[in-house]
């Protein structure tokens, strides 16, 4: 016979179980593309590439219109994500080891460190401390010595590839023989396996794709599909590049299917982001398609052109919008409104504090976090639209050494070769075509002071006059002094 006392006890137990379930921290999946530009996805207006899974993710969650990488190249942005710090503060200001033009007008600074410093408590380490099982699979590019790998910086499980070949990838540690195939598929296999093994506890999965980085390569059936597709006017429509976008999209789809299959979707936050803007053409002016697929454009200029970032200006390797503005999509069923759009500027330094808040854990003691949590925006609340964001890329790459600051709708670009300044109102001029510093001198002065104060605060390294400057040889590329 069920007594009143037993019913009360049963109700108490059920209430405790429900409360416990409600308080369970969400799983977190962070998917990072490489070199995928803001304008590469259909949900951001692209009319040639196909990415149905990412479009669906945007329909199910929130799409950010003004999300930024903290640097226009890979290693610094990756460091910013894992540390929550600006690259200039860390000392990783260029890809590792770096670009080098020995005869240019100014000598650019080298990275202070050629790996992610071990003393930084990474995002993964903080998630471990919060009780998460952590996995990192894919591109690392933050040091390959044993004590610099993800396994030494907070990843319970990790495989990072080290030879940059899409169809014959090599990994640290070596993969078991059964895992074969195109790189994107292998990384997805590892990720799905990680989800399945850890479905009974909170997990943090970091899936770092190499797609759509050069040298471009994809499955031949996908390439043929896009070779036959009509191109929008003015868009290059590189079929190999489009195939790679679809490879990433297929991976996203498989991860989402795994979350559904194991009943984890409702309590999993999924982030999709890219490390820098789209690459239009290589800085060294050589074909950007892998030999395996070069025949499709053997006699076409498209062997030199990957994509277009229009309406954004320029490309990877510059602090203009085409180099730093990224696709960012976040889904958390029943917590994030479906089809939501956030227009407030956010940065890759914001992911670390966001994950800390999601996990309900404190920031590391005595470690600066330059970002802020964007969880309020994900929940439909306001973020500070006037918070300044900063960039520091004192490197010759696809442009001159430069810095930038954005505050609200206004963006100032500092040319670190000749000291000139440019001012843009991004809300009115997203393609940065009209420099308005002469019309708004006080705005330019205020932003420049803000940028200089920030550079001093983070210890930003700046270019210096080059005693070996040679106007006739200035465009020559040299071997970086730190390259082994």
The catalytic residue positions are: 74, 141
Which of these, 155, 122, 115, 37, lies nearest to 398 by C-alpha position? 37
CA torsion sign for 40, 43, 46, 49 is positive
Tokens linked to 450: 């803000």
CA distance 17 to 9: 12
Tokens linked to 363: 């920031």
CA distance 9 to 408: 55
Task: Give the phi and the psi of residue 119 in degrees, each rounded to 5.
Answer: -75, -15
Sequence-distant contacts of 96-99: CB under 8 A, at least 24 apart: 96/141, 96/142, 96/143, 97/480, 97/482, 97/483, 97/484, 98/395, 98/480, 98/482, 98/483, 99/283, 99/395, 99/396, 99/397, 99/477, 99/480
CA distance 400 to 104: 10
Which segments of 24-73 does DSSP mark as H helices, in order?
52-60
Q: Is 318 helix (H, G, I), strand (E, B) or coil?
A: coil
Tokens linked to 273: 């982001």
CA 259 from centre of chain: 22
CA 448 from centre of chain: 26
Which of these, 309, 310, 346, 311, lies nearest to 330 by C-alpha position? 346
CA torsion sign for 265, 208, 379, 311 is negative
- DSSP letter at 295 equals G
Give Rg (Cα) of the chain. 23
DSSP string, 220-252: HHHHHHHHTSPPPTT----HHHHHHHHHHHHHH
CA 389 from centre of chain: 16
CA distance 33 to 198: 24
Report whether 258 contacts 268 (CB < 8 A): no
């Amino acid at each position: 016979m069920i007594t009143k006392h037993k019913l009360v006890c049963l109700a108490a137990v059920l209430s405790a179980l429900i409360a416990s379930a409600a308080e369970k921290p969400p799983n977190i999946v962070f998917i990072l593309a490489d070199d995928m530009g803001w304008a590469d996805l259909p949900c951001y207006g692209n009319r040639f590439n196909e990415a149905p899974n990412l479009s669906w993710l945007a329909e199910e969650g929130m799409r950010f219109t003004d999300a930024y990488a903290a640097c226009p190249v890979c290693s610094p942005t990756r460091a910013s994500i894992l540390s929550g710090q600006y690259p200039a503060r860390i000392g990783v200001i260029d890809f590792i080891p770096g670009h080098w033009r020995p005869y240019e007008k100014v000598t650019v600074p080298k990275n202070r460190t050629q790996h992610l410093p071990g003393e930084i408590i990474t995002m993964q380490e903080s998630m471990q401390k919060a009780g998460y099982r952590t996995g990192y699979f894919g591109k690392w590019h933050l040091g390959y010595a044993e004590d610099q790998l993800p396994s030494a910086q907070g990843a319970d499980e990790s495989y990072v590839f080290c030879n940059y070949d899409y169809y014959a990838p090599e990994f640290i540690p070596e993969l078991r023989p059964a895992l074969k195939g195109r790189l994107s598929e292998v990384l997805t296999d590892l990720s799905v396996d990680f989800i399945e093994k850890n479905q009974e506890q909170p997990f943090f999965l970091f899936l770092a794709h190499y797609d759509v980085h050069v040298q471009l390569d994809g499955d031949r059936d996908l390439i043929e599909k896009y070779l036959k597709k009509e191109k929008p006017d003015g868009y290059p429509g590189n079929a190999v590049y489009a195939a790679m976008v679809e490879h990433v999209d297929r991976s996203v789809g498989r991860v989402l299917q795994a979350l559904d299959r194991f009943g984890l979707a409702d309590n999993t936050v999924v982030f999709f982001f890219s490390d820098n803007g789209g690459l239009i053409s290589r800085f060294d002016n050589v074909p950007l398609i892998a030999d395996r697929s070069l025949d499709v454009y053997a006699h076409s200029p498209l062997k030199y052109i990957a994509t277009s970032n229009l309406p954004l200006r320029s490309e990877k390797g510059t602090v203009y919008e085409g180099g730093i503005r990224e696709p960012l999509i976040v889904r958390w069923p029943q917590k994030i409104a479906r089809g939501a759009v956030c227009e407030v500027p956010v940065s890759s330094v914001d992911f670390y504090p966001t994950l800390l808040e999601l996990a309900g854990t404190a920031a590391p003691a005595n470690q600066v976090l330059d970002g802020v949590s964007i969880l309020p925006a994900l929940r439909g609340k306001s973020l500070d639209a006037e918070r300044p964001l900063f960039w520091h890329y004192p490197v010759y790459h696809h442009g001159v050494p430069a810095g930038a600051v954005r505050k609200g709708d206004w963006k100032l670009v500092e040319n670190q070769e000749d000291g000139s300044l440019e001012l843009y109102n991004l809300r009115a001029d997203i393609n940065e075509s009209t420099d308005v510093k002469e019309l708004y001198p006080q705005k330019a002065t205020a932003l420049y002071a803000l940028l200089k104060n920030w550079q001093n605060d983070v210890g930003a390294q700046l270019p210096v006059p080059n005693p070996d400057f040679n106007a006739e040889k200035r465009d020559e590329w040299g071997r970086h002094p730190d390259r082994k």
